[in-house]
Structure 1
C-alpha cells in the first residue's frame, strides 16, 4: 500500500466509530469511552497531512472502521476488499514497531484486528494476531493486578483489556479446537468493576447506592460463563461426577443471570446481546454434556454393539446428561431460527449463526444415528429445521 494512502479515512468514519461504540464495544469492552473518544476526535479533526503525529490512534480508528463496516446492520454491503483495506492500513501503521515498544494501545489495536479477522473469514490470521496480542498483554503484565501507582481509569482499562483477551481466546479455542493461551491458573487479574464509565474517574470509583446493571455487566457475565466453558473444554472422557459438578456450576451461573440478558420463549429476539449470551450458554452446556453423546457414537463408529441401558442410577444420570445436551442443541436451532430472516442478510459472516448452528446440527445428528434414538421425532424435526437455514 502506498504511504500516501496510510493517512486516509473513510468519508463515513464518524458513523462507523459511533456504530462500534453503540454495539460492538459493550460485547467486549476494551476502552474507557470518555477517555478514548477525545483522542479519536483529535485525530479525526486533524488535517490529513498531520495524522502521522499519532499513528497508534489512527491505526485504532482504522480497526474500528473495519469491524463496523464488516457488520453493517442496515443491509448495505461493504465488500471484504474494502474492510480489509482498513485493517491493512492499521497494521501498516503499527507494523514497524509491533514486536517492540509495547503499549496498551497496541494490544487494543491487535485485539480489534483479531476480532475483525475472525468474523471476516480469515481464521488463521486471526488466531496468529490474537496470540500476538496476548503475548504483548502478558509482557505488559496485564495478567496480574494493576500496579498501585496507576490511576483508576488506567487500572480499569488494563483489567477490561485482559479479560477481552481471555474471552476472545477461550471462544476462539472452542471454535478451532486449539489450546488456550490464557488458562485461568496462569493469571490473577481481578474482574473489572461493574460500573459505567461516568462512575470511573482518575481519582476514584463511584459506586451506586444500590447495585444496578452497567455497560460492563454483560461482559462480566460472559467472563463468568467462559470460566465454566474453559473447564468443560479440558474434559476428556470425564467421570460422571465431574460432569455433574460442572453442570451445577452452570446452573448456579444461570440462576444469577440478570433478566436483561435472558431470551424468553415467545418473545421476539431483538437484542443481539441477549442472543449471543443465550448461544454461548447453550454451547457451554453442550460442551459439558457432549460426552454422553460422543461415547455411544464412538462405539458405533468402531462397529461395537451398544448394550441396552440399565435402570441403575449411573445409567439414568447419563441419559439425563444426553437429554440436556440434545435439548441445548435444539434450543440453539430455535434461537437461530427466530432471528434467521433478519440475520441472514447481515453483511459479514453471521458467526453466531454459522458456528453455533453447525455444532447444534452435529450434536443432533450424532444423537439420532444411535439406533435407540433414531425415532426421536423432536430431534429429527429440529435437525431438518437446522439444515434448511
Structure 2
C-alpha cells in the first residue's frame, strides 16, 4: 500500500501493518453494510504519516548563513561531478539539480531547504575530490572537498528527518564518498540505512499505476534502487557481510533496463543495457553473500559456491564478445570505463568465489563431496583472477 502525502512525497506500508489492517477492516465493514467509502475515509492514514514515518523535528541550522564556495569554483566542481561520477552512477537528475543550484547564488536562496543544501555540498565535495586529481590547485580543491563534505555530514540528520527520494540520493552520495575513500565498512553500514529508506518509499516494489508518477520519476526511482542494490551487493562481498536485502524481498520494475529497449540492436550496447549487466551481476553477488552467511553445512556451502560460479559463467557468456572480461576491451571510448569497472567487479567476485571454494574444500578434506574435483584448480583460478584485477586496474 502506497500512501501519498502530497505531490512529491509518500510512503509504503505492507498489508500486515496496523494502518493497512485498519484500512482493510474499514473498507470491508462499509462494503458489508453497502455503504460508500467517503473521499476522506482513509485520511487517518495520510495524517498519521508524519507522526509514524518522520522524526517530527525541525532543523536548527541557519542554512542561509552558510558560507559557500565561490560560484566559479562550485561550477567547476559540479561539472566534474556530472562528467566523472554521474556519468557512471546517474543518481541525480542534472536539469533539476542545476535549476536549484543556480538559486544558491541569487536572492532566491532563502527558498531553498536543508535537502537542497545537503545535496549541493555533496555534489561540490565529490566534484572537488575528482578535481584535485587533475587540477594544479590541489590545496584549494582539498579545502573545498573537506569544507563541503563536513557541512553535508552535519546536515544529514535533517536529510533523514522526513525521508523522501532526495534523502535517498543524499545517502547514496555519502555511500559513494566513503567507498571511494577506502571506508567500505562504514559505507556498508550506510547501505543498510539507505535500503530501509528506499523500502519505506516503496522503491523495492513496482511503482503503483494509480499514483500518477511521471515516467521521469519512475525511471529515477528504479535507477536509485538499482544503484543502491549494486552498492549493497558489492560492499557486502568486499566486507564478507550479509546483504541488506534478500533476493526474494523485492519486486522492482526495472523495465528501463530491458535489453529490448536498445535503439540500435546492431550497434553498441545502450547505457540501459550496460546497467542491466550490472544489475544481473549484483543479483548473483547478493545471493552468494546471503548464502555464505547461512548455517548450512560445508558441503551445502560448496554446492552454493558451485552454483554461484556457474551463474557467473553464464552471465559472462551473455555479454558481447568485445565486452567480456576474458579478452581485450574493444569498445567505443564513451563505454570504455564502464567496461573497466564491470571487469574489476567481475574479477573480484571470481577471486572471492574460488578463494572460498579453496578454503572450504580444505575444511572438507575428510568429507566425500561430489564436486570436490571442481575445486582442485580453484587456487590457480583465484590467483589468476587477482592478477587480472590488478592488470585491469593498472590500465
TM over 0.5: yes
Cα deviation 1:167-218 (Å, max 9, x = unaligned): 111122222232221222111112251389xxxxxxxx98736476223333
State the distance in 1 between where 2:327 and 2:135 align: 27
Deviation at 1:158, TM superposition (A): 0.6
**SS of aligned partner of 2:86:** helix
Residue of structure 1 in register with 2:348 after alignment: 283
Indicate conservation of the 8 Å contact 1:170/1:180, yes or no: yes
Deviation at 1:125, TM superposition (A): 4.6
Residue of structure 1 in register with 2:167 after alignment: 106
Cα deviation 1:199-242 (Å, max 9, x = unaligned): xxxxxx98736476223333321111111112222444354543
State the distance in 2 between where 1:332 and 1:320 align: 18
**SS of aligned partner of 2:85:** helix
**SS of aligned partner of 1:182:** coil
Indicate conservation of the 8 Å contact 2:165/2:221, yes or no: yes
1:53 to 111, 121, 134: 111
Residue of structure 2 in register with 1:359 after alignment: none
Deviation at 1:80, TM superposition (A): 5.3
Structure exhibiting the larger radius of gyration computed from Cα positions: 2
**SS of aligned partner of 1:221:** helix
- Tell whether 2:315 aligns with 1:253: yes
Higher RCO (Cα < 8 Å, 6 or more apart)? 1
1:293 to 337, 358, 378: 358
Residue of structure 2 in register with 1:221 after alignment: 277
Residue of structure 2 in register with 1:74 after alignment: 134
1:166 to 229, 232, 236: 229
State the distance in 1 between where 2:66 and 2:226 align: 31
TM-score, normalised via structure 2 length? 0.69
Deviation at 1:333, TM superposition (A): 2.6
State the distance in 1 between where 2:344 and 2:374 align: 25
Size of the aligned set, in residue pairs, is 318
- Tell whether 2:377 aligns with 1:320: yes
Indicate conservation of the 8 Å contact 2:121/2:148, yes or no: yes
Provide the alpha-carbon RMSD of the alignment: 3.6
- Tell whether 2:148 aligns with 1:89: no
State the distance in 1 between where 2:199 and 2:370 align: 46
**SS of aligned partner of 1:27:** coil
**SS of aligned partner of 2:217:** helix
Deviation at 1:22, TM superposition (A): 2.0
Taking a change above 3 Å as real, the CA distance of residues 4 and 277 of structure 1, as seen in their structure-2 partners, is: same
Cα deviation 1:340-373 (Å, max 9, x = unaligned): xxxxxxxxxxxxxxxxxxxxxxxxxxxxxxxxxx
TM-score, normalised via structure 1 length? 0.70
Residue of structure 1 in register with 2:204 after alignment: 143
Indicate conservation of the 8 Å contact 2:317/2:324, yes or no: no
Residue of structure 2 in register with 1:118 after alignment: 179
**SS of aligned partner of 1:41:** helix
Indicate conservation of the 8 Å contact 2:242/2:289, yes or no: no
State the distance in 1 between where 2:165 and 2:317 align: 35
Deviation at 1:289, TM superposition (A): 2.1
Where in structure 2 are the equivalents of 1:321-340 lying within 5 Å?
321-336=378-393, 338-339=394-395
State the distance in 1 between where 2:299 and 2:103 align: 58
Q: Which residues of structure 1 form unaligned runs of 5+?
A: 197-204, 300-305, 340-389
Deviation at 1:82, TM superposition (A): 3.6
Taking a change above 3 Å as real, the CA distance of residues 287 and 8 of structure 1, as seen in their structure-2 partners, is: same
State the distance in 2 between where 1:124 and 1:264 align: 30
State the distance in 1 between where 2:185 and 2:372 align: 41
1:40 to 80, 98, 118: 98
